[in-house]
Amino acid sequence: MFKKLLLILIMVTFAASAFAVKNKNSIQVKGSDTMVNLGQAWAEKYMEINAGDFAAVTGGGSGTGLSSLISGTCDIAMSSRNIKEKEIALAKQKGIDPNEIKVALDGLAVIVNPDNPISKLTLAQLADIFTGRVTNWKEIGGKDEKIVVLSREVNSGTHVYFKEHVLRKNDSNSKEEFAPTALMLSSSQAIADEVAGNPSAIGYYGMGYVSKKQKALAIAKDGKLEYESPIIENVINGKYPISRPLFLYTNGVPGGLVKKFVDFILSKEGQNIVLATDFVPVK
Amino acid sequence: MRKLKELIIEKVILICGLASIFFVVLIFLFLLKEGLAVFKIVSPFKFLFGKSWYPISEPPQLGILPLVLGSLLVTVGAVIISIPIGVGCAIYIAEIAPLKIKEALKTGIELLTAIPSVVLGFIGMVTLVPLAKNIFHIPTGLTALSGSIMLAFMAMPTIVSIAEDALYSVPKTYKEGALALGATHWQAIWRVMLPAASSGILAAVMLGIGRVIGETMAVMMITGNAAVIPSSILAPVRTLTATIAAEMGEAVVGSEHYFALFAIGIVLFVISFAINVTADLFLHKRQ
């Protein structure tokens, strides 16, 4: 009796999983951790309007999303960086044609503990801190404490963007790297938690993650320019120096359900959600 | 008819038995195939003893020495913590505890195995990490020591249950003989029981180490993951396992980075294989 029950249970599970794969009304969205909250907000509103459609949003990092798109396990990849040449080549090999859609802008906030007296830095000082040339807060006018540098893991688009635009100052010949002593944390939330509890820590992430437990620094391109805070107006008018576009990647020009979802994102309603989740709309 | 049935069942069981070996061989071949490709790009010497791990730079720097040392440091720390407690616990359960306490302790230890490592990691992150930071006045509590303490919890059940088994299987006459010669209870345990069970206890320790070195989730959450050669146990480290787990999602299939991660897999495989074989040798010596 028990065996029979078990058998039926197993068969039902298999049938259900087969059915889930075939369900045409669902799309899988995967990628950038920075964009997970945004993606989920989009999906919720979208499913509210289009009852019966289903969009599942998961994180994991831009690289994770793009490699899922390439291997065909998701329909839309969210990415906080441009797709790499290597990834395009690999996608072509597998018969996937990555199509880029710019959906929002994001200011990268550099955050410290609210107890830290430092409240503004230049890009050059940031580069010094994150590459490990400056290791004590007193060297840049703070307390006599060792700087604990926090970074995202290498699978994060934020990590790559910060390295290319802050550490290497957009110079493709530059060989600057994150200091080997930098702690690599696996999510933006982990960085937020560590900064909230550690007065000597410094980290970076999308400005949507900043809360009262962290202090976002004002950043200047160089000593002569004004220090600007990571707020929405400063990202739109381009004054805040560390901001970047956020992308969706689809396989070819989107059609069917994917197109419906992307159109919704680019609609006024979708872009209002962008604003509501502390990102900057593109339209 | 009955004979046929017997025969079929026998064959099925034979296949089941061979399946595990078959799978191990397949996994090992796959690891070798994917991992050895990295040595077209870096020499094995540079891979094992290189001091920088920047896998996504151009050109990538693929030196895993900081990762190997990170794994070793966390493991050694965990072993130093878990051996005295684990073996002590085993002695208490096997030799001293009254029946009721014995049962309770055994259940408790089995429960410890049932806690998923991600849960232990999370508990460590919110309790142990701030505690370590405050006690030692270090810049961050995400250190090798935090990882070691958490891993010690994971190694304990293995060490206790196997060491207890080893003590239990020492013939009763040994202990009775010692007591008859006028030894105290402790002397009998220390001088007679422990040496008699030593190979089993060593095997227990080796299997505990094997459990620790392969552990991933908890260490990834609480050791800080900085790929730097650790200067002390109070510094952040990055382990081999955490590197694979954290970076596998990003690695473009067929890239240097991807091959390097599989090569790390080979290194881990070799380490745990060596540990298991050593444990096996000790166990067989006992029999």
Read off the pLDDT of residues A250-272 as tens digits, 9 standing for 90 and up: 998 888 889 999 999 999 999 99
* B57-62: long-range pairs with CB below 8 Å, 24+: B57/A175, B57/A177, B60/B256, B60/B257, B60/B260, B62/B38, B62/B256, B62/B260
Tell me which chain A residues have a C-beta less than 8 angstroms from the C-beta of B226. Answer: 180-184
CA B50, CA B66: separation in Å to the nearest integer?
8
Q: Do B246 and A84 touch (CB under 8 A)?
A: no
For tokens 């049932």, the residue is B114
Q: Which residues of A touch B238 (CB under 8 A)?
A: 184
Distance CA A265, CA A258 (A): 11
Model pLDDT, residue A266: 92
Model ipTM? 0.75
Q: Measure A71 CA to nearest chain B CA, in Å.
A: 10
Residue A197 to residue A186: CA distance in whole angstroms: 17
Give the pLDDT mean for A120-134: 92
- Report pLDDT for B232: 87
3-state secondary structure of B199: helix
**Contact by Cβ (8 Å): A27, A54:** yes
Query: Which residue out of A73, A81, A153 would a mutagenesis test of the B interface target, given it has the greatest number of B Cβ atoms within 10 Å?
Result: A153
Chain B residue with the nearest C-alpha to that of A184: B225
Mean pLDDT over the full length of chain A: 85
**Tokens at residue B230, please?**
């650790």
Per-residue pLDDT tens over the stretch A43-84 = 999 999 988 888 999 988 888 899 889 888 899 999 988 888
pLDDT of residue A18: 47
When pLDDT is cut at 50, 70 and 90, the band that residue A156 belongs to is confident
Residue A5 has what pLDDT? 55
Q: Which residue has the higher pLDDT, A174 or A191?
A: A191
Angle at A55 between CA A53 and CA A61, to 5 degrees: 170
**pLDDT number for residue A21:** 46
pLDDT at A31 exceeding the cut of 80:
yes
pLDDT of residue A232: 84
In angstroms, rounded to a whole number, what is the distance separating the alpha carbons of residues B265 and B263?
5
Please state, in angstroms and rounded to a whole number, the distance separating the CA atoms of residues B165 and A198. Answer: 45
Please compute the mean of the pLDDT values over residues A6-29 and round it to a whole number: 60
Q: List the single range of A7-16, A120-129, B106-115 with lowest mean pLDDT.
A: A7-16
Distance CA B285, CA B99 (A): 30
pLDDT band at A20 (very low <50, low <70, confident <90, very high): very low
Q: Provide the token pair at A19.
A: 């059915």
**Which residue of B62, B67, B127, B140 is the best one to mutate when testing the A interface, meaning the one whose CB has the most A CBs within 10 A?**
B140
Per-residue pLDDT, A13: 55
What is the Cα–Cα distance from B157 to B169, expressed in whole angstroms? 18
Q: Which residue ranges of chain B lie beneath pLDDT 50?
A: none
* pLDDT given at position A14: 53
| pTM beyond 0.80 | no
Is the Cβ–Cβ distance between A34 and A6 less than 8 Å? no
Q: What's the pLDDT band for A101 if we cut at 50, 70, 90?
A: very high
- Provide, as residue numbers in chain B, all residues whose Cβ is less than 8 Å from the Cβ of A200: 139-140
Q: A155, B225: Cβ pair inside 8 Å?
A: no
Please report, for residues A94, A191, A258, the alpha-carbon distance to residue A72 in angstroms, rounded to integers and kept in the order given.
9, 31, 14
Taking the alpha carbons of B112, B117, B122, B128 in that order, is the dihedral positive or negative? positive
Which pLDDT tens digit goes with each residue over B134-153?
A: 898 888 888 999 999 999 98
Size of interface A-B (CB pairs under 8 A): 86
> What mean pLDDT do residues A83-95 have?
87
Give me the residues of A, 78-107, that contact B with CB < 8 A. Answer: 84, 86-87, 90
What does the pLDDT average to over A239-248?
89
- Can you read off the two tokens belonging to residue A94? 């597998």
SS3 state at A150? strand
